[in-house]
Amino acid sequence: MRRRPARRSPLSLLLLGTGTFLLVLAPLLAWYVEPQARRTPLDVDVTTVFEGSGSYFDTAKVKLVEDKPLTVTRQVRGDVADGDRSGRAIWDVSTSVDTADTLPAADPHDSLQWTTERWVTDRKTNRPVHCCQEKPRFEGEAYLKFPFGVEKRSYRWWDSTLGGTVVLKYSGARAVQGYQGLLFTGRVEAAQTGTRLVPGRLVGRPKSSQVLAEEWYANHGVELVADQQTGRILYAAIGPRKTLRAPGGKKDAMVLLDSRKLAFTPATQRAQVALARDDTDQLRLLGRTVPLVALAAGAVLFPAGAVLLVRGGRIRRGRQEAPLPETARHAAPAGR
């Protein structure tokens, strides 16, 4: 008598296949998908607002105005069309400094100060990439954000007004709106950053109608709190001081802008924390939660499917090999 091939149980095949899939999926998510997700986004569209008070030179009154409200608004938008999904991120940045008289500013040209920049960075390392009409040419490790996986060490932060990097030291943990981050602090000593043609009387040279005054810049203090997972800046505070000096002068002759502290508003802090929390949760889900669940489920389903498959085969073989009863072997053929 010819044996029929044993039919495998659909349930055992289902369990075996699902278990195999989950066991393969777990390391794939942890070692490939999650690292791929640790990349600077291309389609960023974020506005951050700093508020504080300080002194500034009022061109309409032609004098220094002291202890007045100041607002710094920074808009960051990703250039998705020019960005490279595999390598680089391009962000266009607009920064305006406004007084109570220029807010709300329909046109940034009406602001006390207005600058535009174009940043190109490596999406994985956050390092600068010098291409694509970059403006200015910058260096360092941190500016609009820190790298993914922020370490407890000093970082070189790019200061656009200075036109150079500043060392920010790790200064411990700090909570922002109840969310834990890493604090980095530093300051900028006074340095010449350029020249400007101004009336001589403004810098103590009344006998000269125009002089090429020296522009100087310092920062009373920089405080940045970064999310450790994503590098997103949760809180920022700066203390800019911009002055003019007579050519070759040793002392400031005129203050253009001076503030001890301009810091993220509470609304900006909450928005940054919400973005950091969402990004961190997504990375944790891809790199830890889902892989662990998949690994645990696969470790249960795969052996269960294998056991059912082997046991089912043994049962069928046993049934096929079972001897016929004695009476059946000697039974007369039908029709005799």
pLDDT the model gives residue 336: 41
Q: What is the pLDDT of residues 88-137, one digit of tens each?
A: 999 999 999 999 888 876 677 788 899 999 999 999 899 999 999 999 99
> What element of type H or E holds 174?
strand 164-176
Under the banding of pLDDT at 50, 70 and 90, the label for residue 313 is: low
Name the residue ranges covered by the structural domains of the chain: 31-286
- Give the chain's radius of gyration (CA, Å): 34
Cis peptide before 136 (omega within 30 of 0): yes
Preceding amide of 104 cis, omega within 30: yes
Q: What pLDDT is attached to residue 250? A: 93
| pLDDT of 330 higher than 60 | no
Contacts 24+ apart (CB under 8 A), 210-213: 211/246, 211/247, 212/247, 213/244, 213/245, 213/246, 213/247, 213/253, 213/254
Taking only the tens place, the pLDDT of each residue in 198-239 is: 999 999 999 899 999 999 999 999 999 999 999 999 999 999
Q: Is the pLDDT of residue 153 over 60?
A: yes
Report pLDDT for 82: 85
Residue-level pLDDT at 31: 63
Task: Pick the closest to residue 67 from 80, 58, 59 (CA basis).
Answer: 58
pLDDT of residue 335: 46
Q: What is the rounded (10 degree) CA torsion for 150, 144, 257, 192?
A: 80
- Residue 263, pLDDT > 50, answer yes
What per-residue confidence (pLDDT) applies to 243? 97
Residue 30 three-state SS: helix
Beta strands in 16-139 (DSSP E): 45-58, 63-78, 88-99, 113-122
Residue 42 CA, chain-centre distance (Å), reads 11
Measured in degrees and rounded to the nearest 5, phi and psi for residue 178 equal 80, 5
- Dist. CA 85–CA 89, nearest whole Å: 8
**Which residues, in sequence order, are CB contacts of 105 under 8 Å at separation 6+?**
96, 98, 111
* Secondary structure percentages of the chain, helix, strand, coil, to 5: 30, 40, 30
- Residue 296: which pLDDT band, with cuts at 50, 70 and 90? confident
